[in-house]
């Protein structure tokens, strides 16, 4: 009780009602009014001391005050007072706590009509925010009808409101019938509500019949009917007849009546009769002083503004056309509004027509209208038109300069914006914070904008604009993007407040400076300072998590964004999606993507790219088909990612289909798409198609040149690759480190040892490129393929890098080809020291011993492999037929068409033997009989794949087979013969290169 006493004392300073409560109840004992004055059992008493307190709590929606009063009513024994109970129900309902009101209602032993009306009104009010209360309200009304109580307008009004909120017109019709039954159908209040309900759901005829039957109709009811006809587009003679009837009723219209009727009739007044009707009503309104020319244009402008604010830009333009047909004169506001609406339509022709009307009516030199015209052209991407308007303006204000500078910045014309800024200063115009912020954004957009940004910084200090949040944020952005993090931090720390835009710019600067940890620390500081993050801060925080590959921190930020209600914001959800993708959590990314209501092309592209980056190219292609089925057009980045997916899968046919989409969508000229296609065709074994694409795209960029050089090298066309390199230099395209990887690979596949050393040495001497470990690996490969394994071993030992496993693996393969067991053993031991579980080291070493007929050492190597539980990767080949992959291993009979495939292999062997083929059993590295060795060679996986391709594709189709291991010498020889006897081109890709077999020869020249 003591704490309650102190609580009531605290209410004293808040309101008059609180003072009243305190003055009456400062003692622990409740007041004891005389029974004759305040009977506790009276059904109604407005003289209760609690009544004014409850009325005050309702007026102020002060639940705390109402609850205190309720508690004291209970302690004083007044809770059985029906009047107070009804007011308590009303108080809880108006304060938004319908559950408390319902509990009090259910506990009331003696309910009267006011009790029912109060609870029904409470449910009608609560249902505006909680639709689940509608059914409860209807349930109460059904319960009410069981009692012998006669409803009033106050009973049916909330029930009708519930029916309107429910959206079921049948419910309203049922209550209408009940109202007729109890004699309330033509009650002015109830019939007015019913007319409004029927009007809102489009039941105009029912509304009109009820309206015509009403005994009393005020101006408000007439306006409801007028508005109904106007909103439903029924602007025919019916409106005029209704207005005539209204005039005969003796009521006078108000301005709402006149505006509603005229806005309807004037838009559809096509006939001469209706035109006369408009004129008559207009004259009548003028007579009543409800309309004059000045007010008229104001109301037209207001109507257009309402349309524009609602995003109904075409309706605003149509309103302007209606205005132009009337006798009302424009003002400059009219053009400001309609030009803004034309900008919203993004229809240049509409904007140009309004421009003509602007000049025709003499408003072409109005500064505000001209500024809007200039802004409209700029937003539509017509900067030349905008600049023409700017140049022709006689009077320029600061808004004119700011609009033109901002438009140039947003349109990418950065240098032009700087020229305009200098021109502004030379004309003596004083820039403001918006001018400086726009120019600073231009500084952020160019590589060396830092120096210009510092000069603008000086202007900001001189003009005392440095404290402005727009200017300081733009300065932080300039310094952050140029790597001047300390200067950016200094500006941020000098700000008075804690602006989110400035913090976002600072976080972006940290990320660009590869210090994402600081970005997340700043994000944490924002949270600790009690500032709620917006969608831009959250998106930047997700980007920082992505850069750090910090999945757990990203999940925490995701939980925070859900708490703030931003999880469905497209900007935030895209950041969450990118975070999961960068962290290689495809399951989480898929859940986020599925939760986006309407993913845009950026989200689709991010998912497709994520699957490609995480090695699931097939799912990426499937997702693309889903995207196309939903009618979402891909952009250039999507297409280049899909082409990359086809490259990784070496899916030639699917790549051709994507290429067709590229042509159809007119994206072939995009450098990224074009380069991706060059790379895709090269990796799918069609270097001719790759070259055709290369000739059609811009070749000033180094990337397509690199793709061609590397592609030609992989296809064994070493001389052509080197010719491309020479042509590139002639055209002035500067090579990079990737170019030299391609050049050295070309030398490797062509056996050009001397040339390889020359190009290797020229990297630093001629181009200032320091050789990296990849270039040394290429040089080792050159020496190894040329049989100079000793020199290759020396190069590995003397190079300035720690040898990689792939480098040792390549040299060990060369030792196997050359049969050099001595060096092979040393290299194998070093490779196993780096990667003890690498099966290729054991296999290659075993093959070296087998070639030298050292079967005891072969057995030893295999036992060591078994002891260490290392499993050999099985050799397999696959072929893509009709977008389906068919995979084979040696002697594979698991394919559904295995019988036909083996028959075809036998047929091919017979055919090529007649042409001179003889199995080379040296490549059968098993200690078995010669005949068994021959038969073992016949059913290698690449031969099975070729056989299936022959029985599954039309004649003359190029066969494209891929193998995961190096093709053996016998298969290489056999495929040369097969290409001759079947007269087909066969492209075989192994881990090192392409082999193009045609007419009995291979593009590698038997050097691989």
Q: Verify that 882 and 964 share a domain, yes or no.
A: yes
The count of other CB atoms within 10 Å of the CB of residue 932 is 12
> What average pLDDT does this structure show over 152-179?
87
What is the distance between the alpha carbons of residues 769 and 761, in angstroms, rounded to a whole number? Answer: 10
How far, in Å, CA of 527 to CA of 560, rounded?
10
Domain that holds residue 92: 49-288
The residues facing 884 across adjacent strands are 881
Q: With respect to residue 811, please indicate whether it lies within any of the assigned structural domains.
A: yes
Instruction: Please tell me whether residues 844 and 942 are part of one structural domain.
Output: no
C-alpha–C-alpha distance, residues 421 and 440, integer Å: 11
Query: pLDDT tens-digit profile of 557-616?
Result: 999 999 988 888 888 988 999 999 999 999 999 999 988 888 888 889 999 999 999 889
Report the pLDDT value the prediction gives residue 757, as an integer from 0 to 100: 93
- List Cβ neighbours of 203 (8 Å cut-off, separation of 6 or more): 169
All residues at 6 or more sequence positions from 309 whose CB lies less than 8 Å from its CB, including other chains: none
Per-residue pLDDT at 771: 93
Over pLDDT 90: what percentage of the chain?
Answer: 32
Q: Which two tokens stand for residue 925?
A: 């590295």
Total structural domains in the chain? 3
Each residue's pLDDT tens digit, 892-910: 889 999 999 999 999 999 9
Confidence at 39, pLDDT banded by 50, 70, 90: very low
Q: What is the mean pLDDT of residues 94-122?
A: 88
Element housing 989 (H / E): strand 986-989
CATH number of the domain residue 794 falls in: 1.25.40.10
- Cα atoms in the Cβ-side hemisphere of radius 13 Å centred on 390: 26
Tell me what percent of the residues of the chain surpass a pLDDT of 70: 89
Helices 82-94 and 63-75 sit at what angle, rounded to 10 degrees? 160
696 occurs within a structural domain: no
**512 exposure class (CB count in 10 Å sphere: 0-12, 13-18, 19+):** middle
Counting every residue written for the chain, the total comes to: 1008
The string of DSSP letters for 708-755 reads: HHHHHHHTT-HHHHHHHHHHHHHTTPPP-HHHHHHHHHHHHHHT-HHH
* Rounded-to-integer distance, Cα 860 and Cα 866, Å: 10
CB atoms within 10 A of CB 963: 22
**DSSP letter (8 states) at residue 47:** T
According to the per-residue pLDDT averaged within each range, which of 830-834, 867-871, 904-908 is highest? 904-908
Structure tokens at 315: 């309706």
Q: Which is it for strands 959-963 and 994-998: parallel, antiparallel or unpaired?
A: unpaired
Beta bridge partners of 995: 988
Using 50, 70 and 90 to split pLDDT, how confident is the model at 32?
Answer: very low
Of 319, 324, 318, 379, the closest CA to residue 348 belongs to: 379
Could you tell me if residue 557 is inside a domain?
no
Whole-angstrom CA distances from 53 to 57, 83, 107, 660 are 6, 14, 22, 78
Backbone φ and ψ for 920, nearest 5 degrees, come out as -100, 95
pTM listed for this prediction: 0.60
Read out DSSP for 857-924? HHHHHHHHHHHTT--PPPPEEEEEETTEEEEEETT---STTHHHHHHHHHHHHHHHHHTT----GGG-
- 664 Cβ partners below 8 Å, 6+ apart? none
Contact indicator for 734, 767 with CB cutoff of 8 Å: yes
**Both 84 and 213 in a single domain?**
yes
- Is 924 in the same domain as 862? no
Phi, psi of 505 (to 5 degrees): -65, -40
What token pair was written down for 748? 């490797």
- Among 843, 872, 901, the domain-final residue is 872
Distances (CA, A) of 808 to 617, 773, 780, 967: 30, 12, 9, 20
pLDDT tens sequence across 764-791: 999 999 999 999 999 998 998 888 999 9
Domain boundary among 240, 273, 288: 288
On whether both 895 and 784 belong to a single domain, the answer is no
**Burial level of 769, CB count in 10 A (0-12/13-18/19+)?**
middle
pLDDT (mean) for 795-819: 87
Mean pLDDT of 356-385: 89
Answer yes or no: is pLDDT of 271 > 70.
Answer: no
**Quick one: 450 exposed, middle or buried, by C-beta within 10 A (0-12, 13-18, 19+)?**
middle
228 in the same domain as 248 = yes
Q: Looking at 263, 288, 313, which one is the last position of a domain?
A: 288
Phi-psi domain of 565 (left: phi exceeds 0; alpha: psi -120 through 50; beta: other): left
Pairing between β-strand 959-963 and β-strand 986-989 as defined by DSSP bridges: parallel
Query: Which phi and psi angles does 989 have, rounded to 5°?
Result: -115, 125
Query: What DSSP string runs through 498-524?
Result: --HHHHHHHHHHHHHTT-HHHHHHHHH
Quick one: 90 and 121 in the same domain?
Answer: yes
Would 750 be classed as within a structural domain?
no
**Residue 546 clears pLDDT 90, i.e. is over it:** yes
Do 97 and 229 share a structural domain?
yes
First to last CA, the chain: 97
Average pLDDT for the chain? 83
659 within domain boundaries? no
Q: Are residues 811 and 938 in the same domain?
A: no
3-state SS assignment for residue 958: coil
pLDDT at 751 > cutoff 50: yes
Q: What is the rounded distance in angstroms from the CA atom of residue 588 to the CA atom of residue 311?
A: 36
Nearest residue to 253 via CA among 211, 279, 282:
282
Query: Distance (Å, rounded) from C-alpha 622 to C-alpha 733?
Result: 38
Domain presence at residue 175 = yes
962 membership: H or E segment, kind and range = strand 959-963
User: Are 861 and 896 in a shared domain?
Assistant: no
How far is the C-alpha of 932 from the C-alpha of 464, rounded, in Å?
A: 93
Gap between the Cα atoms of 122 and 128, Å rounded: 10
Instruction: Match 């060096």 to its residue by tokens.
Output: 823
Grade residue 805 by pLDDT with cuts at 50, 70 and 90.
confident
In a domain, 486, yes or no: no
pLDDT at 822 over 80: yes
Q: What is the mean pLDDT of residues 732-748?
A: 92
Rounded to an integer, what distance in angstroms lies between the CA atom of residue 808 and that of residue 829? 10
Q: How many CB atoms lie within 10 A of CB 39?
A: 15
pLDDT at 717 over 80: yes
Residue with tokens 């300039």: 478
Greatest Cα pair distance, the chain, in angstroms, is: 131
Residue 996: its H or E element: strand 994-998
In which band, very low, low, confident or very high, does the pLDDT at 187 lie, cut at 50, 70 and 90? confident
866 and 910 within one domain? no
Give CA angle at 375 (373, 378), nearest 5°: 110
Beta bridge partners of 988: 961, 995
CB of 124 closer than 8 Å to CB of 158: yes
The span from the CA of 605 to the CA of 623, in Å, is 9
The neighbour count for residue 836, using CB atoms within 10 Å, is 10
At 848, is the secondary structure helix, strand, or coil? helix
Position 265 confidence tier, pLDDT thresholds 50, 70, 90: low
- Give kind and range of the element (H or E) at residue 995: strand 994-998
Tell me what the mean pLDDT of segment 129-136 comes to: 85
Tokens coding 415 = 């240098």
Sheet of 876-881, strand order: 884-889, 876-881, 959-963, 986-989, 994-998, 1001-1002
Distance CA 459, CA 456 (A): 5
Let me know whether 845 and 899 are in one domain: no
**Residue 189 in domain:** yes
How confident is the model over 247-256, as pLDDT tens digits? Answer: 888 888 877 7
Residues 918-940 pLDDT 10s: 876 654 444 333 444 455 567 88
Three-state SS for 853? coil
């Amino acid at each position: 009780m003591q704490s309650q006493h102190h609580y009531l004392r605290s209410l004293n300073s808040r309101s008059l009602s609180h003072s009243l409560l305190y003055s009456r109840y400062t003692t622990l004992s409740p007041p004891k009014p005389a029974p004759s004055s305040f009977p506790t059992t009276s059904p109604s008493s407005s003289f209760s001391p609690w009544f004014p307190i409850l009325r005050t709590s309702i007026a102020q929606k002060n639940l705390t005050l109402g609850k205190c009063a309720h508690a004291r009513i209970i302690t004083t024994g007044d809770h059985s007072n029906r009047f107070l109970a009804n007011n308590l129900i009303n108080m809880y309902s108006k304060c938004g706590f319908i559950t408390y009101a319902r509990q009090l209602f259910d506990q009331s032993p003696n309910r009267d009509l006011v009790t029912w009306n109060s609870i029904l009104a409470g449910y009608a009010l609560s249902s505006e925010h909680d639709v689940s209360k509608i059914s409860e309200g209807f349930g109460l009304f059904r319960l009410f009808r069981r009692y012998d109580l006669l409803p009033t307008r106050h009973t049916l009004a909330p029930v009708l409101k519930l029916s309107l909120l429910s959206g079921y017109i049948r419910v309203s019709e049922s209550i209408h019938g009940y109202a007729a039954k109890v004699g309330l159908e033509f009650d002015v209040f109830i019939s007015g509500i019913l007319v409004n309900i029927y009007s809102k759901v489009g039941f105009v005829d029912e509304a009109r019949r009820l309206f015509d039957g009403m005994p009393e109709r005020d101006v408000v009811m007439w306006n409801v009917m007028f508005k109904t006809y106007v909103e439903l587009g029924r602007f025919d003679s019916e409106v005029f007849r209704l207005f005539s009837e209204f005039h005969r009723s003796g009521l006078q219209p108000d301005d709402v009546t006149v505006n509603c009727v005229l806005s309807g009739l004037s838009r559809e007044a096509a006939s001469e009769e209706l035109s006369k009707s408009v004129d008559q009503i207009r004259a009548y309104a003028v007579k009543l002083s409800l309309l004059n020319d000045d007010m008229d244009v104001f109301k037209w402008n207001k109507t257009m503004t309402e349309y524009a604010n609602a995003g109904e830009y075409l309706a605003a333009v149509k309103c302007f056309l209606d205005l132009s047909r009337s006798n009302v004169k424009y003002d400059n506001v009219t053009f400001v509004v309609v030009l803004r609406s034309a900008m919203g339509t993004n229809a240049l022709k509409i904007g140009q027509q309004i421009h003509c009307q602007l000049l025709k009516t003499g408003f072409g030199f109005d500064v505000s209208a001209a500024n809007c015209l200039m802004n409209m052209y700029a937003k539509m991407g017509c900067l030349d038109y905008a600049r023409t308007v700017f140049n022709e303006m006689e009077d320029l204000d600061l808004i004119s300069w700011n609009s033109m500078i901002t438009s140039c910045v947003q349109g990418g014309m950065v240098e032009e914006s700087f020229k305009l800024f200098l021109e502004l200063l030379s004309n003596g115009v004083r820039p403001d914070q918006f001018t400086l912020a726009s120019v600073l954004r231009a500084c952020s957009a160019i590589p060396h904008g830092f120096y210009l940004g510092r000069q603008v910084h000086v202007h900001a200090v001189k003009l005392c604009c440095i404290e402005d949040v727009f200017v300081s944020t733009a300065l932080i952005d300039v310094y952050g993007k140029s790597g001047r993090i300390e200067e950016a931090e200094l500006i941020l720390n000098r700000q008075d407040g804690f602006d989110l835009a400035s913090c976002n710019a600072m976080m972006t600067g940290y990320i660009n400076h590869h210090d994402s940890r600081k970005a997340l620390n700043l994000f944490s500081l924002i949270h600790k300072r009690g500032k709620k993050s917006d969608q831009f801060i959250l998106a930047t925080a997700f980007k920082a998590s992505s850069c750090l590959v910090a999945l757990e921190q990203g999940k925490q930020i995701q939980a925070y964004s859900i708490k703030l209600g931003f999880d469905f914001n497209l900007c935030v959800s895209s950041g969450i999606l990118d975070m999961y993708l960068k962290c290689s959590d495809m399951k989480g990314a898929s859940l986020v993507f599925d939760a986006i209501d309407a993913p845009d092309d950026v989200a689709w592209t991010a998912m497709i790219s994520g699957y490609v980056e995480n090695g699931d190219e097939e799912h990426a292609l499937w997702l693309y088909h889903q995207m196309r089925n939903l009618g979402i057009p891909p952009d250039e980045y999507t297409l280049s990612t899909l082409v990359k997916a086809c490259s990784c899968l070496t899916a030639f046919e699917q790549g051709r289909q994507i290429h067709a989409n590229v042509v159809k969508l007119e994206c072939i000229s995009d450098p990224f798409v074009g380069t991706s296609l060059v790379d895709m065709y090269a990796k799918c074994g069609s270097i001719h198609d790759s070259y055709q694409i290369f000739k059609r795209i811009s070749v000033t960029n180094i990337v397509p040149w690199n793709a061609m050089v590397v592609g030609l090298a992989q296809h064994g066309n070493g001389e052509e690759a080197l010719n491309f390199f020479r042509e590139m230099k002639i055209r002035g395209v500067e090579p990079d480190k990737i170019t030299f990887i391609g050049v050295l690979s070309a030398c490797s596949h062509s056996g050009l040892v001397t040339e390889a050393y020359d190009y290797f040495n020229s990297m630093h001497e001629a181009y200032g490129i320091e050789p990296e470990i990849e270039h040394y690996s290429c040089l080792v490969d050159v020496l190894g393929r040329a049989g100079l394994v000793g020199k290759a071993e020396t190069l590995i030992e003397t190079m300035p890098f720690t040898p990689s496993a792939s480098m040792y693996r390549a040299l060990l393969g060369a030792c196997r080809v050359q049969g050099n067991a001595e060096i092979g053993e040393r290299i194998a031991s070093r490779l196993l020291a780096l990667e003890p579980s690498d099966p290729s080291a054991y296999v290659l070493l075993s093959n070296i011993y087998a070639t030298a007929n050292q079967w005891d050492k072969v057995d030893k190597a295999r036992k060591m492999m078994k002891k260490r539980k290392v499993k050999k990767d099985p050799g397999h080949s696959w072929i893509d037929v009709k977008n389906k992959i068919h995979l084979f291993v040696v002697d594979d009979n698991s394919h559904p068409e295995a019988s036909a495939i083996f028959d075809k292999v036998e047929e091919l062997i017979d055919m090529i033997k007649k042409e001179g083929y003889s199995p080379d059993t040296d490549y059968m590295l098993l200690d078995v009989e010669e005949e068994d060795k021959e038969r073992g060679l016949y059913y290698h996986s690449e031969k099975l794949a070729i056989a299936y391709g022959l029985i599954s594709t039309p004649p003359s189709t190029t066969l494209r087979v891929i193998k995961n291991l190096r093709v053996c010498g016998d298969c290489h020889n056999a495929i040369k013969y097969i290409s001759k006897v079947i007269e087909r081109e066969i492209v075989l890709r192994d881990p090192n290169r392409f082999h193009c077999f045609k007419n009995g020869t291979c593009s590698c020249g038997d050097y691989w």
